[in-house]
């Protein structure tokens, strides 16, 4: 039998060989394999573009390097700049402007979640016989029971509902007095797992359990959304051993966390092989957004960081590893976006997408597997009408086509246009990770107070966004502004409600979890009907709230 791998020390090659040999004996009896591939989607959290061995990092990632080298590296791959948006686009195949989640993240106290009228990826896979399991970070809202992962298509869920929390205690404070436990098994708090186990290891053990109990002749979809390497920066002591030479404490902790994550993915891959899934599996690896230099991440040589629409915030590490690939050991430089996984995986699973559903993703399997041209020619990075407006932006600055005070970004073929306030725009070189951390003295500092509200770059020729071409090519600027305007006409209203005091874990047994009660609302409505009051029916809140703080995936989280 397989059992759990020892986390105290890595398995030696001969031990792995013996293990796989035992598994091979067990699998001799299995003959009828499913024609539908096993789909394994691994999402890392806040991993910077440079933070993988094959991008030149000083952090050792032998597993990621090997899987990527034997598969297809995606070197023109884009996600969203923060947590919720990337996850929502992966699971729906739709841009944020088409789900109402175009502003910031879903915060723990907000009565908000991924809109219930969107068919999710696991729901579509279940339709064609897949067993669907999620392990890790949800961060798509939970204020109602209908918003929970198990109600959105997953047979099982083990993980956290919020955007961040302690890796050992699984406890999260959103603000003073708003603290609670955040570890779930399906729809209930997983108090039995409150044993101080590091989340990266605990999630990997759960993945091993799922694979051990599943029949490999039946198709499985595994969505593994690791908490690592998001702050708070915590890792088991033994992973620090190889990084004593890194002076910056945040970078050193981050490196230890990433090493642990790399080992976890090695153990997941080993389990896939041991239990007979690997030969008919497709493993996809992705980061959810760029790294945060202040929390140890590096996007060098890209500009900007997590939370921005510069390349450092949205261009991600990504690769596909699978025995089913036709062209293994290659690099794909075609345009790929996180929304593309939805139609691609449904197509691979032999599923159907309803014709009346307007998706923003494309089936890009032939692009990845066979090296064909990508069907994608553009990406709407986002339009956020609520984000702080650029002081110098105006409709006039946008040639009467677009108000450049609005934060937006779009890519059309080689060209990328940004308007409004794109966010922190420095290039943070590796040497800036001194003991003091990234500071103005180490970075190539760029000030945005120069009256600009429009930027244009040829990303193919200038991937580091060093040469703004907006004045040289006004015709291209106008063309992209018109494209933005066209996209904006299809946008749905922003969903960003104010906090609800009923969300406080103190009112819910010390646990973050659903608090919205539908029955109570119905009783109140029937009461008002009985009283024959002429007041209008209360419609669901659509109140929009301007967030003064910079969008981030954590609030008041200590890094230690």
133-163 b/e with 16+ CB inside 10 Å = b?
A: bbbbbbbbbbbbeebbbbbbbbbbbbbbbbb
For residue 300, give both structure tokens.
């060098």
Enumerate domains of the chain plus CATH numbers. 38-376+494-501 (3.40.720.10), 387-431+445-491 (3.30.1120.10)
Taking the CB of residue 363, how many other CB atoms lie within 10 A of it?
18
Residues pairing with 281 in the sheet:
38
| pLDDT of amino acid 354 | 86
CA–CA distance, 271 with 478 (Å, rounded to integer): 52
Which helix (DSSP H) or strand (DSSP E) does residue 137 occupy? Answer: strand 131-137
Catalytic member of 38, 139, 214, 230: 139
Global model pTM greater than 0.85: yes
The CA distance from 89 to 130, in Å, is: 21
Residue 174 has φ and ψ, to the nearest 5°, of -85, -30
Q: Which three-class secondary structure state does DSSP give residue 309?
A: coil
Neighbours of 291 (CB within 10 A): 28
| CA 96/CA 140 separation, integer angstroms | 12
Strand partners, 73: 319, 331
Q: Assess contact for 455 and 440: CB atoms under 8 A.
A: no
Give every CB contact of residue 174 below 8 A, 6+ residues apart in sequence.
107, 108, 109, 162, 555, 556
Which tokens go with 260? 């642990």
Question: Quick one: 202 exposed, middle or buried, by C-beta within 10 A (0-12, 13-18, 19+)?
Answer: buried
> Consecutive 10-residue runs of the chain (560 residues): their mean pLDDT?
38 53 48 80 98 97 98 98 98 98 97 97 98 98 98 98 97 95 97 93 98 98 98 97 93 97 98 98 98 96 97 98 98 98 98 91 98 97 96 95 98 98 90 58 50 95 98 98 98 97 97 83 48 37 36 39
Q: Which distant-in-sequence residues (6+ apart) come within 8 Å of 538 by Cβ?
A: 525
What is the pairing mode between strands 318-321 and 131-137? unpaired
SS3 196: coil
Tell me how many helices (H) and strands (E) the chain has: 11, 18
Query: Could you confirm whether 170 is annotated as catalytic?
Result: no
Q: How far is CA 334 from CA 73, 250, 309, 337, 524, in A?
A: 11, 34, 20, 10, 55
The residue length of the chain stands at 560
553 is catalytic: no
Give me 510's structure tokens: 């010390």
Task: Count Cβ atoms below 10 Å from residue 437 Cβ, excluding itself.
Answer: 16
Give CA–CA dist 162/183, Å, rounded.
9
The H or E element that residue 283 is part of is: strand 281-287
Using alpha carbons only, what angle is made at residue 31 by residues 28 and 36, rounded to the nearest 5 degrees? Answer: 125
CA distances from 379 to 52, 116, 387, 480 (A): 25, 25, 20, 11
- The DSSP H or E segment spanning 245 is none
178 near 109, Cβ under 8 Å? Answer: yes
| CA gap 503, 174 in Å, rounded | 11
Q: Going by C-beta distance under 8 Å and a sequence separation of 6 or more, which residues neighbour residue 479?
A: 412
pLDDT at 424: 87
What 3-state DSSP class applies to 181? Answer: strand
DSSP output for 64-121: HHHHHHHSEEESSEE--SSHHHHHHHHHHS--GGGTT--SS---TTSS--S-TTSPPH
- Are the C-beta atoms of 351 and 221 separated by less than 8 Å? no
Q: Write down the catalytic residue from 38, 55, 83, 103.
A: 83
Pairing label, strands 72-74, 330-332: parallel
For residue 544, how far is the Cα from the chain centroid? 24
- Give me the DSSP letters along 212-234: HHS-TTS-EEEEEE--TTSSS--
- Give the pLDDT score at 532: 44
Q: Are 398 and 389 in contact (CB under 8 A)?
A: no
| Count of Cβ atoms closer than 10 Å to residue 407 Cβ | 28
pLDDT the model gives residue 24: 53
């Amino acid at each position: 039998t397989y059992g759990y791998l020892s986390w105290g020390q890595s398995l030696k090659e001969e031990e792995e060989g013996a293990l796989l040999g035992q598994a091979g004996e067990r699998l001799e009896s299995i003959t009828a394999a499913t024609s539908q591939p096993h789909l394994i989607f691994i999402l890392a959290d806040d991993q910077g573009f440079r933070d993988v061995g094959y991008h030149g990092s000083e952090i050792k990632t032998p597993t990621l390097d090997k899987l990527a080298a034997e598969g297809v590296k995606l070197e023109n791959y884009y996600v969203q700049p923060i947590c919720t948006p990337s996850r929502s686009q992966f699971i729906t195949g739709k841009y944020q402007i088409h789900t109402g989640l175009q502003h910031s993240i879903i915060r723990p106290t907000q009565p908000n979640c991924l809109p219930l009228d969107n068919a999710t990826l696991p729901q579509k896979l279940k339709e064609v016989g897949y067993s669907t399991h999620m392990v890790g970070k949800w961060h798509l809202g939970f204020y109602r029971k209908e918003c929970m992962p198990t109600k959105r298509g997953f047979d099982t869920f083990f993980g956290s509902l919020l955007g961040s929390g302690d890796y050992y205690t699984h406890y999260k404070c959103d603000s003073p007095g708003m603290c609670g436990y955040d570890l779930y098994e399906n729809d209930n708090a997983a108090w039995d797992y409150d044993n101080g186990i590091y989340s990266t290891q605990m999630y990997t053990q759960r993945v091993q359990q799922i694979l051990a109990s599943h029949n490999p002749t039946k198709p499985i979809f595994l969505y593994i959304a690791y908490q690592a390497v998001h702050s708070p920066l915590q890792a088991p002591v033994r992973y620090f051993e190889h990084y004593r030479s890194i002076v910056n404490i945040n970078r050193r902790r981050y490196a230890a966390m990433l090493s642990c994550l790399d080992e976890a993915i090695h153990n997941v891959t080993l389990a896939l092989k041991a239990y007979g899934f690997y030969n008919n599996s497709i493993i996809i690896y992705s980061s959810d957004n760029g790294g945060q230099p202040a929390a140890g991440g590096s996007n060098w040589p890209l500009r900007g960081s997590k939370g921005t629409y510069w390349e450092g915030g949205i261009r991600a590490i990504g690769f596909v590893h699978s025995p089913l690939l036709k062209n293994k050991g290659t690099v794909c430089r075609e345009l790929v976006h996180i929304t593309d996984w939805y139609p691609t995986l449904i197509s691979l699973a032999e599923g159907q997408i309803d014709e009346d559903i307007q998706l923003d993703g494309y089936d890009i399997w032939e692009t990845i597997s066979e090296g064909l041209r990508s069907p994608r020619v553009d990406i709407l990075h986002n339009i956020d009408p609520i984000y702080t407006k650029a002081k110098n932006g105006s409709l006039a600055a946008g040639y009467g086509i677009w108000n450049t005070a609005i934060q937006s970004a779009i890519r059309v073929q080689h060209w990328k246009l940004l308007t409004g306030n794109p966010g922190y725009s420095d290039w943070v070189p590796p040497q800036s990770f001194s003991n003091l951390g990234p500071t103005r003295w180490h970075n190539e500092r760029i000030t945005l107070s120069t009256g600009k509200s429009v930027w244009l770059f040829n990303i193919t020729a200038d991937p580091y966004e060093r040469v703004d071409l907006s004045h040289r090519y006004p015709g291209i600027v106008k063309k992209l502004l018109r494209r933005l305007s066209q996209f904006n006409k299809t946008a749905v209203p922003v969903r960003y409600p104010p906090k609800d005091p009923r969300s406080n874990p103190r009112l819910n047994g010390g646990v973050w979890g659903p608090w919205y009660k539908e029955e109570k609302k119905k009783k109140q409505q029937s009461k008002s009907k009985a009283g024959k009051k002429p007041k209008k029916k209360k419609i669901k809140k659509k109140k929009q709230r301007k967030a003064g703080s910079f969008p981030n995936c954590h609030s008041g989280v200590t890094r230690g």
